[in-house]
């Protein structure tokens, strides 16, 4: 009986103990749970905070940064704001957001180019059609101008033609800006024609004064003609637009070492430093053109100039101010785009200003006795002091060295000591065989002409002409025929024949006294003897040359 | 002046006269004969007028001939010529009227009359 209560006590004790133990465990686990809860709550709070920050950041991205980035594509000066939380900058989230912006930027740029290209293609097609239509209109108008000369009708036709040219210029510029070809193939043309043609495409062209200081015959190769005309028209348009209507716009065409420069000066407002820099950037043509960047309405002039300078290897410079206070624009045409056209065979247009050098040639022809045709022996009568002096105005290497130029015969005496360095020259030696002709080879049919050069200038204003060059010479020395009656070769031959026989007779009489002269006259045709012997001022050099030619 | 090439002229005609097509004197016609007066041209002469004057240095030309040589429409040359006449650099003469054919009937009667005189 005693064992049962003990058992009960023992059992209770065990139960109590285990209850204590379990209670402790429970308490511990409760505490643990509470700690876990707290931790979870803290973590949740942190998570909430982070996601709020993230949301805010994305909202900021959408609301501020993306639009700014999109605007920046079009306007580079727009600044894109950074993330809301500056600490985010280096974090993965920050860089991921940056990536978003970068991707957006790239895609926008691609889209922009694509859209612009589409716009350009559309415009190109339209302007091409318009340009062709305007050319047809031009043909029609010029046909009418040729056919009708009633003043009232002609006035209307002139005005229409001018309007048409202006529209044509606009269409052509738009096409060129959109990447099209200039739209018209031309033949080689005088450079002054291209400049004058460009001038004619503008309203107010009467204010433009072109001064042509180029040697006659300076021309552009065919593919450069229309681009030069377009560029000159644009530069002149800017000049006319930005200067007062009572001022002149001065154009100078000058030969430079590397080619030809067309300088356009206006007396207008001028440009600020920024404008000048922008204009210079545009005409350099180094950046691709986007229509959307040209403004509204698009200002296409300089963009077209840039496009053309890049395509045709021309140079335009707007960086220096004009001495007139306005803008100076200089178009440089390098010598590989230049060629020569014989101005006698194919003269420049009637309205194109004549070369100032040509006037110099004409004055010389009038003033002293040096019209064309003296080529063969032009080197000899250098003793006439007046000639080198009057020849100075066109004392230019290139002019002197071009054999086709009408100025050449008179310039020849000068070019012997001068180096001829002009790059697009025909070689100067091309002119020298003439010396040989005069002295040696062609004497059968030209025996009269070479000696006459010695005497002609002294007794008459005109010189006999070599037949081969007579046409060119007639044109060049155009005013000369009225000034002095020209002697025909046959007359000169007769006169010289008489002189020749006289000197021969005298020489044979005084034969033993003169040593050198008979030695020459033995083998040579009589004309030469006359030339050398009758030259009383004693040009030893002539004798030398005569000797070598033989 | 011979090598006139095809193709579109670069310089339009209106530039030669500065856009003017009404000549300052109206008596000029297509076949009026222009002759240089021989006076020295002033240096500031417009290019087209100088070109016309230069053509006339070689002799007289009718207006149409000058137009063909200068490759300009006749209307422009009329203006240029009128300006040059105003400056006394060019003389103009009215066109020679084309010879009219005589009335054959009249000629026959004259011949008859002469014959009658000879053989009374």
Q: What is the pLDDT of residues B31-90, one digit of tens each?
A: 899 999 888 888 888 999 999 998 998 889 999 999 999 999 999 999 999 999 999 999
Is the alpha carbon torsion for A332, A337, A342, A344 positive or negative? negative
Q: What is the pLDDT of residue B27?
A: 85
Residue from A223, A201, A208 nearest A131 by CA: A201
Distance, in Å, from the CA atom of A276 to the CA atom of A528, rounded to the nearest integer, reads: 66
Parallel, antiparallel, or unpaired for β A208-212 and A249-256? parallel
Taking contacts as CB-CB distances below 8 angstroms, the residues of chain B near A148 are 75
Taking contacts as CB-CB distances below 8 angstroms, the residues of chain A near B76 are 145, 154
Contact B70 A350 (CB under 8 A): yes
Any domain includes B69: yes
Q: What is the pLDDT of residue A370?
A: 37
For residue B16, what is the nearest residue in chain A, using CA coordinates? A351
In degrees and rounded to multiples of 5, residue A256 shows phi and psi of: -125, 180
Q: What is the pLDDT of residue A462?
A: 55
Distance, in Å, from the CA atom of A46 to the CA atom of B15, rounded to the nearest integer, reads: 83
Please calculate the CA angle A297-A302-A308 and round it to the nearest 5 degrees. 125
- What pLDDT digit, counting tens, does each position of B84-105 carry? 999 999 999 888 777 777 788 9
Is the preceding peptide bond at B27 cis, omega within 30 degrees of 0?
no
- What pLDDT digit, counting tens, does each position of A315-374 carry? 999 988 888 888 999 999 999 999 999 988 888 999 999 888 755 554 444 444 333 333
Task: Report the residue from A135, A148, A200 with minimal CB separation from B15.
Answer: A200
Residue from A293, A284, A287, A283 nearest A115 by CA: A293
Distance, in Å, from the CA atom of B16 to the CA atom of A215, rounded to the nearest integer, reads: 22
Taking contacts as CB-CB distances below 8 angstroms, the residues of chain A near B70 are 350
Contact B11 A193 (CB under 8 A): yes
Any domain includes B2: no
Task: Tell me the nearest-neighbour CA distance from A525 into chain B, angstroms.
Answer: 37
Parallel, antiparallel, or unpaired for β A208-212 and A218-220? unpaired
DSSP for A132-182? HHHHHHHHHHHHHHHH---HHHHHHHHHHHHHHHHHHHHHHHHHHHTT---
Q: Which residues contact A161 (CB under 8 A, 6 or more apart)?
A: A138, A141, A142, A145, B12, B13, B14
ipTM score of complex: 0.81
Does the CB of B98 have a partner CB in chain A at under 8 Å?
A: no
Task: Tell me the nearest-neighbour CA distance from B91 into chain A, angstroms.
Answer: 17
Burial class (CB in 10 A: 0-12, 13-18, 19+), A497: middle
Distance, in Å, from the CA atom of A273 to the CA atom of A284, rounded to the nearest integer, reads: 16
Residue B5: left (phi > 0), alpha (psi -120 to 50), or beta? beta
Distance, in Å, from the CA atom of A415 to the CA atom of A433, rounded to the nearest integer, reads: 15
Distance, in Å, from the CA atom of B78 to the CA atom of B58, rounded to the nearest integer, reads: 19
Residue-wise over A24-48: b if at least 16 C-beta within 10 A, else e?
eeeeeeeeeeeeeeeeeeeeeeeee
Task: Tell me the nearest-neighbour CA distance from B70 into chain A, angstroms.
Answer: 6
Structural domains counted in chain B = 1
- Contact map slice: A 229-268 vs B, CB within 8 A: 229
Pick from A136, A149, A342 the residue to mutate for testing the B interface (most B CBs within 10 Å): A149
Residue from A437, A434, A439 nearest A451 by CA: A439
Q: What is the pLDDT of residue B108?
A: 92
- Contact map slice: A 268-327 vs B, CB within 8 A: none
Total Cβ atoms within 10 A of residue B85: 20
Does the CB of A131 have a partner CB in chain B at under 8 Å?
A: no
Pick from B14, B24, B70 the residue to mutate for testing the A interface (most A CBs within 10 Å): B14
Please calculate the CA angle B75-B78-B82 and round it to the nearest 5 degrees. 150
Residue B109 has pLDDT above 60, yes or no: yes
- Check if the beta carbon of residue A371 is closer than 8 Å to that of residue A358: no
Taking contacts as CB-CB distances below 8 angstroms, the residues of chain B near A196 are 10-11, 15
Please report where in the chains the tokens 């007779």 appear, as a residue. Answer: A505
Does the CB of A137 have a partner CB in chain B at under 8 Å?
A: no
| 3-state SS, residue A340 | strand
| 3-state SS, residue A432 | coil
Residue-wise over A97-109: b if at least 16 C-beta within 10 A, else e?
beebbeebbeebe
Q: What is the pLDDT of residue A228?
A: 95
Taking contacts as CB-CB distances below 8 angstroms, the residues of chain A near B75 are 145, 148-151, 154, 157-158
Contact A165 B9 (CB under 8 A): no
Q: What is the pLDDT of residue A387?
A: 38
Please calculate the CA angle A344-A350-A354 and round it to the nearest 5 degrees. 70
Does the CB of B71 have a partner CB in chain A at under 8 Å?
A: yes
For residue A471, what is the nearest residue in chain B, using CA coordinates? B1
> Which residues are paired to A260 by β-bridges?
A255, A333
- Name residues of chain A where pLDDT drops below 50: 362-461, 465, 467-483, 514-550
Total Cβ atoms within 10 A of residue A507: 16
Q: Which residue would you say has higher pLDDT here, B26 or B55? A: B55
In degrees and rounded to multiples of 5, residue A539 shows phi and psi of: -85, 95
Distance, in Å, from the CA atom of A176 to the CA atom of A225, rounded to the nearest integer, reads: 15
**What residue spans define the domains of chain A?**
10-90, 185-354, 361-507
Task: Tell me the nearest-neighbour CA distance from A182 into chain B, angstroms.
Answer: 14
Q: CATH topology for A185-354? A: Heat Shock Protein 90 (3.30.565)
Distance, in Å, from the CA atom of A207 to the CA atom of A485, rounded to the nearest integer, reads: 42
Any domain includes B1: no
In degrees and rounded to multiples of 5, residue A163 shows phi and psi of: -60, -45
pTM of the model: 0.63
Task: Report the residue from A145, A146, A345 with minimal CB separation from B2.
Answer: A345
Q: What is the pLDDT of residue A297?
A: 80
Any domain includes B28: yes
Distance, in Å, from the CA atom of A475 to the CA atom of A405, rounded to the nearest integer, reads: 11
For residue A158, what is the nearest residue in chain B, using CA coordinates? B14
Contact A196 B11 (CB under 8 A): yes
Taking contacts as CB-CB distances below 8 angstroms, the residues of chain A near B43 are 359
Distance, in Å, from the CA atom of A197 to the CA atom of A170, rounded to the nearest integer, reads: 15
Contact A151 B73 (CB under 8 A): no
Task: Tell me the nearest-neighbour CA distance from B101 into chain A, angstroms.
Answer: 29
């Amino acid at each position: 009986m005693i064992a049962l209560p003990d058992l009960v006590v023992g059992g209770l004790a065990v139960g109590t103990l285990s209850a204590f133990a379990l209670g402790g465990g429970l308490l511990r686990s409760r505490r643990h749970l509470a700690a876990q809860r707290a931790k979870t709550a803290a973590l949740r709070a942190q998570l909430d905070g982070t996601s709020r920050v993230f949301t805010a950041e994305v909202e900021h991205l959408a609301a501020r940064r993306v639009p700014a980035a999109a605007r920046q594509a079009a306007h580079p000066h727009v600044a894109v704001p950074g993330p809301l939380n500056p600490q985010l900058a280096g974090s993965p989230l920050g860089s991921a957001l940056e990536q978003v912006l970068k991707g957006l930027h790239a895609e926008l740029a691609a889209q922009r180019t694509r859209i612009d290209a589409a716009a350009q293609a559309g415009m190109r097609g339209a302007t091409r059609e318009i340009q062709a239509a305007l050319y047809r209109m031009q043909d029609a108008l010029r046909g009418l101008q040729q056919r009708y000369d009633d003043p009232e009708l002609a006035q209307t036709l002139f005005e229409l033609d001018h309007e048409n040219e202006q529209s044509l210029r606009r269409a052509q510029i738009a096409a060129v800006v959109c990447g099209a070809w200039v739209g018209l193939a031309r033949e080689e043309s005088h450079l002054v024609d291209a400049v004058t043609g460009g001038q004619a495409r503008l309203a107010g062209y009467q204010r433009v004064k072109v001064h042509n200081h180029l040697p006659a015959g300076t021309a552009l190769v065919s593919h450069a003609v229309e681009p030069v005309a377009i560029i000159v028209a644009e530069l002149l348009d800017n000049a006319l637009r930005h200067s007062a209507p009572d001022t002149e716009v001065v154009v100078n065409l000058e030969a430079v070492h590397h080619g030809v420069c067309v300088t356009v000066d206006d007396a207008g407002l001028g440009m600020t430093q920024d404008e000048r820099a922008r204009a210079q950037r545009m005409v350099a043509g180094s950046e691709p053109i986007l229509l959307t960047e040209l403004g509204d309405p698009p200002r296409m002039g300089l963009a077209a100039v840039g496009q053309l300078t890049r395509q045709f290897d021309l140079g335009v410079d707007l960086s220096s101010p004009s001495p007139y206070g306005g803008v100076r624009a200089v178009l440089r045409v390098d010598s590989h785009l230049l060629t020569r056209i014989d101005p006698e065979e194919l003269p420049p247009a009637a309205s194109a200003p004549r070369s100032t050098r040509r006037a110099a040639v004409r004055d010389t022809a009038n003033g002293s006795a040096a019209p064309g045709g003296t080529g063969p022996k032009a080197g000899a009568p250098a003793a006439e002091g007046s000639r080198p002096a009057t020849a100075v105005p066109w004392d230019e290497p290139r002019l002197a060295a071009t054999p086709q130029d009408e100025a050449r015969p008179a310039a020849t005496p000068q070019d012997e000591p001068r180096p001829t360095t002009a790059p697009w020259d025909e070689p100067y030696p091309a002119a020298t065989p003439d010396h040989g002709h005069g002295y040696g080879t062609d004497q059968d049919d030209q025996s009269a002409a070479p000696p006459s050069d010695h005497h002609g200038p002294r007794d008459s204003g005109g010189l006999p002409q070599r037949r081969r060059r007579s046409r060119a010479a007639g044109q060049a020395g155009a005013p000369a025929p009225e000034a002095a009656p020209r002697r025909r070769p046959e007359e000169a031959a007769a006169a010289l024949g008489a002189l020749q026989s006289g000197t021969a007779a005298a020489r044979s009489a005084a034969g033993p006294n003169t040593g050198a002269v008979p030695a020459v006259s033995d083998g040579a045709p009589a004309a030469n003897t006359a030339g050398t012997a009758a030259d009383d001022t004693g040009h030893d050099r002539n004798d030398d040359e005569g000797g070598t030619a033989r | 002046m011979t090598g006139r090439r095809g193709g579109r002229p670069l310089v339009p005609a209106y530039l030669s006269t500065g856009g003017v097509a009404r000549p300052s004197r109206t008596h000029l016609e297509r076949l009026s004969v222009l002759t240089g007066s021989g006076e020295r041209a002033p240096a500031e002469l417009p290019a087209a007028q100088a070109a016309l004057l230069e053509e006339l240095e070689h002799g007289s030309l009718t207006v149409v001939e000058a137009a063909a040589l200068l490759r300009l429409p006749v209307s422009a040359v009329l203006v240029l010529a009128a300006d040059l006449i105003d400056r006394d650099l060019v003389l103009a003469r009215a066109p020679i009227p084309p010879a009219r054919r005589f009335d054959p009937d009249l000629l026959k009667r004259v011949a008859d009359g002469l014959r009658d005189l000879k053989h009374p």
